[in-house]
Amino acid sequence: MRGAGGDSVTIVGLETARARRNRGRAPGVRQVSGISSMEISLPQAAHLLGIPEQTVRRWARQGKLPALESEHTFVFRRSELERWARRHGITLVERPARSEDEAPAEPSLPVALERGGFLRDIPGDDVPSVLEATVARMPLPPEADREDLLERLLQREELASTGVGHGIALPHPRVPVEWAPPEGMVTVCRLAGEVDFQALDGRPVSILFVMLSRGAPFHLKLLSQLSFHLRDESFLAFLRRLESIEELIAEVTRRHDRLGGGRGTAP
């Protein structure tokens, strides 16, 4: 008995039917047809279901999971697994482990800066108007909801000022935005005027680093790298006469290399 599913329907697509016929004719010959892409191995199934391989093997043996018995191991049909998981309320891990979509473990400030870009002459004379103008001009991905982002940024400012002193503020949304680019983005903005951000040192703010990332740990690492540079008086001076994002990236990379700061954490 090779089948093991409890499914009511099986996908009998054209390809499947042909592959079955072929196999019926030449048993034991591995098919390199369309069906191969639908059939997945045991480790792949384990990854898709997010469970250990031992568990997948046991479930297949016990007949809980629809599986095909191959010599000494099991193979699975992706479509059957999907239907099974849906029926049993088990969530499939949709993305494969190494996708370009996956966030890198260690954020890179230069990469995030490149993604975020540099905006100058942001108008506005208070925090909401400045942030509104910023959000309107930020290079966000198409699926971004700008209104929602502005709201989250303002919520965060209400909670506590993001002004870190020396005329710098680091606005970021209170709850991470799920559509943020996986590598994170930091948009540098130079304001047209000076705005009171209620910073700790009381000085008005003229430069913003708007930080977006998908999760808190990533955000913290990025923040830690940025504040490492911001502590340096010469970097602040450099920022005031900043003309392009390329300049800034080069400067950040240079300082990074010079100080040997592989990690963004404080030395």
Partner 1 sequence: MRAARSPLFRRLPHQVDERLTLIICAAVVGVGAGLGSVLLNESLALGGSILHPFRGRWYGPLLPAAGALTAVIILKFLFHEVGGHGVPEVLYSISRKGGLLRLRASVSRLVACALTIASGGSAGPEAPVVISGASVGSNTANLFRMNERQRTAIVGCGASAAIAAIFNAPATGIVFALEAIIGEWTPINLVPIAIASVLGTEVSRAFHGNQIPFEHRVFEVSGLDLATCVGLVLFTAAAAVLFVRALRMSERLFSRLPANIYLRVALGGLAVGALGILLPEVLGEGYEVTREIIEGIHAPGVLLIGTMVLAKILATTLTLGSGGVGGVFAPCLVVGAFTGLFYQRGLTALFPRVGWAGEGYFGLLGMAGVTASVIQAPLTGIFLVMEITGGYDVLVSVVLVAVLSATLSHAFEPHSIYHEKLIARRQLLRPRTDARILSEITVAEVLERDVHVIPPDMRLGEFVEVVRQSHRNYFPVVDRGNGKFVGMVHLDDVRSYLFDPTLYDSVVVEEFMRRGVPAVSYEDELPDILLKFEETGSWSLPVLHRGVFLGLVSKSTLLDHYRRELLAQESD
Report, as residue numbers or ranges, the catalytic residues. Answer: 172
Indicate the residue among 36 and 155 with the shorter CB distance to partner 1.
Answer: 36
SS3 38: helix
Q: Where does this chain bind partner 1 (CB under 8 A)? A: 1-10, 12, 17, 20, 23-24, 27-28, 30-31, 39, 51-52, 54-55, 58-66, 68-71, 75, 80, 87-90
**What is the closest distance, in whole angstroms, from the C-beta atom of residue 110 to partner 1 in the complex?**
24
Under 8 Å between Cβ of 204 and 179:
no
106: Cβ contacts below 8 Å, ≥ 6 apart:
221
**What is the closest distance, in whole angstroms, from the C-beta atom of residue 206 to partner 1 in the complex?**
36
**What is the closest distance, in whole angstroms, from the C-beta atom of residue 212 to partner 1 in the complex?**
24
Residue type present at position 133: A
Residue 78: φ, ψ to 5°: -60, -45
Indicate the residue among 50 and 202 with the shorter CB distance to partner 1.
Answer: 50
Strands lying side by side in the sheet with 73-77: 39-40, 73-77, 68-70
Indicate the residue among 136 and 220 with the shorter CB distance to partner 1.
Answer: 220
Indicate the residue among 20 and 120 with the shorter CB distance to partner 1.
Answer: 20
CA-to-CA distance for 73 and 90, rounded, in angstroms? 23
**What is the closest distance, in whole angstroms, from the C-beta atom of residue 263 to partner 1 in the complex?**
10
Under 8 Å between Cβ of 84 and 7:
yes
